Amino acid sequence: MAGDDGGRAQGGKNRDGGRGRGRGRGRGGRGGGRNSTRGGGAGRKGGRGQSRGGGNDQGRGRGRGNCKSPEQNSSNESPNNQKNDTAKDKQTPKKKNEKDASKNHPPNNQKNDTAKDKQKPKKKNEKDNSKNEQKKVVEGKRNKPKNESSSKKSNNNKKQDGKKSSPFTPLTPSAPPNQPQLTNDINYGRGEKITVLHIAEKPSIAQAIARGLSGPADVVQKGKSLPVHEFTHSSGTSTFPKAPNASSCRHRVTSVAGHVFSVDFPPQFQSWDSVDPAELFTAPVVKKPCKGSVVKHLQDEARGVDFMVLWMDCDREGENINFEVLDCCLHLMKHGGNSNFDRVYRAYFSAINPSDIKKAYNALGKPDKNQALSVDARQELDLKVGVAFSRFQTRFFQGRYGDLDSAVLSYGPCQTPTLGFCVQRHVAIETFTPEPYWTLDLKVLKRGHSLHTTWGGGRSFNRNKVEALVTQCTESDSPVLTVTKVVTKEKKQGRPIPLNTVALLKACSKALGIGPHQAMQTAERLYLSGYLSYPRTESSTYPKSFDIRGTLQQQSSDHRWGNYVQNLLANGHNKSRGGVDMGDHPPITPCRSSSGELSGDMARVYEFVVRHFIASVSQDAVWRSTRVDFELEPLKEKGKFSVSGKELVDPGFLAVLLHREYGNEGEHIDGLRDEEEDEEERAVPEFKEGEVIPLVQDKASSKGGSGNVTVAVSAHCWASLGIKEKMTTAPSHLTESELISLMEKHEIGTDASIATHIENIQKRNYVALGNNRKLVPSKLGLVLVQGYHQIDSGLVLPKIRSDIEGQCNKIAKGLADRDTVVKKAIEVFLDKFQFFVKNIDKMDILFGSSFAKLEDVGKPFTRCGNSRRYLQYIPGPPARLYNKFTETVYPLPAGGNVKQWTGRKCTVPDCDFELCLYSCGQPPRTFPLCPNCYNNSDWSLDSSGTDDPIDREDEHKEKQIQKIAGKTLVLECPLPDHHPLIEEMTVSPDPDSDGVLILDPHLGPKWRLVSTRNPTIVHLPKSIDKLTVMNKADDVLGCHYMKIDFKAGESPLEGGELHHECCYPTDEIMQGVSRVYHGSDRLKATGRGRGRGGRGRDGRGGRGRGRGRR
């Protein structure tokens, strides 16, 4: 849940449809080498107007289409374009209506409870309105004037909507909430050919649906990233259940790739400098495409279809994706309008085998808007709460302290309680005081077996009490140990229940040593490769239709467990034990056999899943358990002891699960703990009830009153009684497995997000992973959580998340209104935020005692253009320059290296800051960097010269800094191309991007040109002795001429001339002797290439000879 990182609430991370190659997708304009077209797609005006680019703009049904380039969200980024003022200025100003008394009392958490009482009358009104709307539809033909009035009213509403429409407003769902099916015309398409579009959540599920529904029909597949499977059923073979009288039915089966849209703030709320974080609680939110190509794909496939069947996961997230799909393409179906919702259906399935697919196909239902709205509510709350708190505390503390070791001090309703669990355990360890305790230690030796018994009295913290018991035995005339009871019976150890996501994550961490995030990624790769079923599931029981025998047969030839499986098939497999069916996906099971092609973590996770599946349908293990009770007669009731042990009779499922290999540390892999696991696996010698074992004093060891009582060694059975002193021990830090259990218990996160929350607190350096997968809080994590407790414990306790989930559950069940719940929750969190801001000094005291002030950190780096004082370089993270005289912070770009540049100054008027050099990419490309201009909005990468707000937002998102792993990465020139420093070094436009080629600031002896917006390097010939960029510029291209001096005898010029002036883009001589290297903005890259080439197709530069390689 990305709101926990202070970033987007939901959605993907791809920048597909961004700049791409020449920004072809996303904006639609200037794409594919500046061969933009105008028109096409669902445009900006009423769904059909013109758009600035073909094909990738998304229409909204009614109102304006959105052809913005889908970009990554910047809501939670550490500010790059900001100038920090003093700490006082960073605090959110006090509101006029805030009361001073609130400073000492945290706001109440329970304001949301009032929402329940307000829902009932509204629900009744909504029901009445629904009835009135249906009545109008029925009576429309009878009462024409009323119908016309209603139509005019509807048209007026549409006009108003059109006026309000803007690229920053949220998408309006095309389908009304929970609209009932008003018609059920089985004669639709009678005698005609109809088209049904099936949309699944993942490509692999779409493929399974096509196989399950096609029958004998031939399936034609087209497309790669999101394939479309087509087949046709003619009349008499297999008809569509909702149109049985159609002459033929053409099916198209495709998919999305998870969420289609993500939630973010509009551009005017993206700035960390100009936007007060408190404003974010009341700011609007917008839905933006996660991947523009998915939107276009859906619109292309939905255009003109008769029916639409949605095959998303049968959970809330799946329902939310259903309505995201409808927002894209409902209006493009045949016969348009809201009545299209009447021909939209939803398939409910729990497994993707053919029988379940056909069963769902023949029992289609309708999408549930309430469940989708509950997800929308959670996304909006997570976004607003997470971003507001994260921005404020990041700006506040990074402006004061220099060694925080985190780029973003993020807050999140799920992330912060997760951290709280780790800190709570750490505090318990630090405050623990060991205490000594004593217990009676009775040892029995019989037939070579030494048995340590368990004292029924437990332990005592009074040594004298235990010594008195021993003394009582020694003073007894005949100390005798009597066997009072012997019980031997067989016990069964239940086979594990089927594997769901949480159980898999816990097992991988505890048994395989693979962290939750890595385990989830590995399971997803196995799923996409066809080895495992869908790994995100809450179900822990197999559906009745699940083919257990067929799945076992796939594993019968494996050399590791093949013999066991063959015997299991011959003798009959068992049913799964316990578990629940949550209706989303079946438990995680193998889908096909591995023939040794897997390796590393993929092989280990696959082997565990296969063994667990086989074990879950095997026979229970059988143990022979023996318990012997003893009594020391002199001590009576205080002298009761026992010893127990067990021996394996029938290993059952243990023969394949390898139980001991996968760990058994107090918590069973499937989350259950059987009684027999408390017994030690050992052989217990034979005892008989009433058997007497004499005890005599060992005088040599009884001095001091704490000796042992023994008998002669020659006896066939003898015993000793002594005192054992022990110390209480502190609990250990939480393991990943234990943390997952706590998160599941307190409903923190979902099966799909638990791994992400644990990964986030590690990436933020709030916790560190120690030995045995233990999570140890860092100094920063401890101070944050303790600071929350100092101000308002509700910010870190799990109850705050449970309240949100409780309200979302009510929305999903139709018991609460989405807007009312969000409004009430926002009011509660706004009060908490304002209280947090007022009392931030309490947390600041903790930070001040744990971290170094900015003025005490760093080394002199470059001079400030205003004060002429040296700025201190703070390596961070995040890296920044700090002026301790003016208390001003200048954030630096991340993702590369910053170096000094020999005292050169910025040429921008009134700037005069000393320059740095910024290198990024592989191989490194170097650019000039002015710390002041980089943080000045006039020279920001996000600035645009256009007055069109739509174009300005497009430009803002196209140039936006990528968000990776919680850090703000700049993988291009940090200054815009129109900055004077860049302009005076520009020698050519870059045909591969919208950037330019500049002379590398390192100059000779290896002369080269680097692209400002593309990882491209042009290596100039080694024969160049000196190169100067002239003030003279080309009138058409606007780039500067170069003055080149060649080495004697190495000139490529005719006649061996040594001096040459040229405009690089039009000079064939320099083009021919240059070598182009296409690098990467990643950490590592290799490649080579020769030749520059001319202007290729679509206006893009050719590549000449050679090749590039990554």
The catalytic residues are 534
SS3 track for 504-540: HHHHHHHHHCCCHHHHHHHHHHHHHCCCECCCCCCCC
- DSSP conformational letter for 879: P
Cα–Cα distance measured from residue 55 to residue 292, given in angstroms and rounded to the nearest whole number:
10
Q: Which two tokens stand for residue 222?
A: 């087209």
* Phi, psi angle pair for 391, to nearest 5°: -60, -45
List Cα–Cα distances, 491 to 578, 579, 621, 1086, 1099, in angstroms: 18, 21, 8, 62, 78
Cα–Cα distance measured from residue 877 to residue 410, given in angstroms and rounded to the nearest whole number:
14
Cα–Cα distance measured from residue 286 to residue 1080, given in angstroms and rounded to the nearest whole number:
32
Query: Kindly report the CA angle at 592 between 588 and 593, in degrees rounded to 5?
Result: 115
Based on the number of CB atoms within 10 Å of its own CB, is 769 exposed (0-12), middle (13-18) or buried (19 or more)?
A: middle
Q: Give every CB contact of residue 377 below 8 A, 6+ residues apart in sequence.
A: 807, 808, 811, 818, 821, 822
3-state secondary structure of 1108: coil
Instruction: Name the amino acid, one letter, at 651.
Output: P
3-state secondary structure of 1075: strand
DSSP β-bridge partners for residue 491: 623
> Which stretches of 916-1009 are DSSP H helices?
931-934, 949-958, 980-983
- DSSP conformational letter for 216: T
* Phi, psi angle pair for 224, to nearest 5°: -120, -65
- Positions of E strands within 955-995: 962-964, 967-969, 986-989
In contact, 372 and 252? CB cutoff 8 Å = no
Q: At what angle do helices 562-571 and 600-616 cross, to 10 degrees?
A: 20
How large is the C-alpha radius of gyration of the chain? 36
Cα–Cα distance measured from residue 204 to residue 1049, given in angstroms and rounded to the nearest whole number:
64
Instruction: Name the amino acid, one letter, at 1041.
Output: Y
H or E segment to which residue 902 belongs: strand 897-905
CB under 8 Å, gap of 24 or more: what pairs does 39-46 form?
41/65, 41/67, 41/296, 41/299, 42/299, 42/332, 43/67, 44/950, 46/162
DSSP β-bridge partners for residue 446: 449, 717
Q: HSE of 362 in the Cβ direction (CA atoms, 13 Å)? A: 9
Count CB neighbours of 682 within 10 A: 13
Q: HSE of 1063 in the Cβ direction (CA atoms, 13 Å)? A: 13
Q: Give every CB contact of residue 225 below 8 A, 6+ residues apart in sequence.
A: 203, 257, 293
In contact, 668 and 612? CB cutoff 8 Å = no
Handedness of CA 792, 795, 801, 803 (dihedral sign): positive
CA 171 to chain centre: 24
Q: Which two tokens stand for residue 401?
A: 């302290």
Residue with tokens 């020279």: 939
